[in-house]
Structure 1
Amino acid sequence: MADTGRLAAFSDAVFAIVITLLVLELRVPDFHEGELAGSILEETPAFFAFVVSFVYIGVLWLNHHAVLRLVRGTTLGLNWINLGILFGVVVIPFPTAVLASALDDGNADDLRVAVVMYSVAAALMSAPWLLFFAYLRRHPTVLGSHVGRDEVRRQEARPITGLVLYGLTGLLGWIVNPMLGLAGIVVMIIYHGLTSEGVRAGLFRGGRGGRRG
């Protein structure tokens, strides 16, 4: 079993690079003299998509930071699962750019596709997290001395929730209204942010009964 230091350092570097790449979608707008304010306002869709994905990647980093505190070391299996998590992270700038473009164009059909694409990317992101917790539950020797298998089992509910609700959000955006789907994505990001230390340590439980670290 290896120390988690290299895994954490590599992962942090990936998160930092991806969250920085998001800003490349922001550009100085073309404008005529005296019309800069209006031109900047026209870039609002790109700003909105940037903020949503910036917060999303930040939330993923918080969750990743918290989950590494559950383990005392890493194995080859955990390293591969972690690569799956990072793969989902590096994909995010693409649906972000698609969403920004669709919001800018204002076509409902295109926006529907963009919201579904973002929802699918977010849902797939939940899969390796589910594998991570399942691995910890089945290999208790990698857990820290302060962590029990019951706690790990409870945390498995979070990626399951993400997998199901992001999928339903995509269906909502496709069948009902893309803006409702987009609102659902934002709500799910907020949920995962509030519970980044685990459901029991989240704001929904007032921070009681959670892990201290």
Structure 2
Amino acid sequence: MPEQETASGAPTVSEIGRMTGFSDGVFAIVITLLVIELQVPDHAPGELLHALIEQAPAYLAFLLSFGYVGVIWLNHHTLLRLIRGTTVGLNWINLWLLLGVVIIPFPTTVLAEAFAHGGTDRDRRVAVVLYALTAAAMSAPWLAFFAYLRRHPMLLREGVDWAFVSTQRARPVVGMALYFISGALGWFVGPVIGLVGIGVMIFFHAVTSEGIRRGRARRRRPA
């Protein structure tokens, strides 16, 4: 769909409140869907504790994905603080990003099932690769976001240094590459090693959620 343009040829800029509200709603729903997957296990009388312990992989998968979705929300929140408005094109990119978010419960369930209920080693490797590929695909819309802002710098808030924004493009590139590596490790070395790699990448995105600062690239606090 072509963007509407002003008389000057620039895309029409609209207020960002609807994008923020809609996005936050999607994140909240996904977080809720993750916990809905946790259910009381079937068990014989007196075997509840044993049954709950057997479901430990499901709890770990939930915590991994809860942290992952939370980190994505933190990064998304930081990104939206950099811009003063949105356009049709930016809305489409944001929807692309949210598509990746709403998919997360699926590989989470696959991961939990593969590590529980007697799943084979091959099932676990497949589950880890699926999770890693999903996470890698999540990096693509972030690259598109920064590329779009590069072409439309008028969307940046006053006081935001483009050098800082440009530096952030390294984060999705690193994420995409290392999630692929984690998937490869999960398949060729071992599923647990792959999960460790995924966890390290989620931690990296968590500690850099306010952005990477390099050299003179500084973001002045938006007014």
TM-score relative to the length of structure 2: 0.89
Alpha-carbon offset, residue 210 of structure 1: 5.8
Q: Determine the C-alpha separation between the residues in 1 that align with 2:153 and 2:195.
A: 38
| Percent identical residues | 59
- How far off its partner does 1:106 sit? 3.8
Counterpart of 2:146, as a letter, is: F
Aligned runs of 1:102-121 on 2, under 5 Å?
102-104=114-116, 105-121=118-134
Per the alignment, residue 165 of structure 1 pairs with: 178
Aligned pair 1:9/2:21, yes or no?
Answer: yes
Alpha-carbon contact 1:120-1:170 (below 8 Å) kept:
yes
Q: Which runs of 4+ in 1 moved over 3 A?
A: 209-213
1:40 match: 52
Query: What's the offset of the Cα at 1:176?
Result: 1.1
Per-residue deviation, residues 99-148 of structure 1 (Å, max 9, x unmatched): 00001034110000000000000000000001101111221000011212
CA distance in 2, matches of 1:123, 1:184: 12
Other-structure match for 2:192? 179
Cα distance in 1 for residues equivalent to 2:151 and 2:201: 28
SS at match of 2:160: coil
Counterpart-to-counterpart distance in 2, 1:106 and 1:20: 26
Q: 2:6 aligns to what?
A: none
How many residues of Structure 1 are paired with residues of Structure 2 in the alignment?
208
Which structure 2 residues correspond to residues 1-213 of structure 1 after superposition, within 5 A? 1-104=13-116, 105-200=118-213, 212=221
CA contact (8 A) 2:159 2:219 kept: no
Question: Partners of 1:211 and 1:133 in 2: how far apart?
Answer: 18
User: Considering only CA atoms, is the larger Rg found in Structure 1 or Structure 2?
Assistant: 2
Partner SS state of residue 200, structure 1: coil
Larger helix proportion of the pair: 1
The 1-side partners of 2:219 and 2:45 are apart by 56
Inter-partner Cα distance in structure 2 for 1:9 and 1:80: 15
**Contact 1:198–1:210 (CA under 8 A) maintained in structure 2:** no
- Distance in 1, matches of 2:109 and 2:93, equals 26
Aligned mates of 2:72, 2:35 — CA distance in 1: 18
Alignment RMSD, CA only?
A: 1.7
Gap regions ≥5 residues in structure 2: 1-12
| Maintained 8 Å contact 1:53/1:92 | yes
| Deviation digits for residues 66-115 of structure 1 (CA, Å, limit 9, x no counterpart) | 00001010011110000010000000000000000001034110000000
Which residue of structure 2 lines up, in the alignment, with residue 204 of structure 1? Answer: none
CA distance in 1, matches of 2:148, 2:162: 11
Scaled by the length of structure 1, what TM-score is found?
A: 0.93
Query: What is the letter of the counterpart of residue 187 of structure 2?
Result: W
Q: Distance in 2 between matches of 1:128 and 1:25?
A: 27
Moved more, 140-149 or 32-41: 32-41
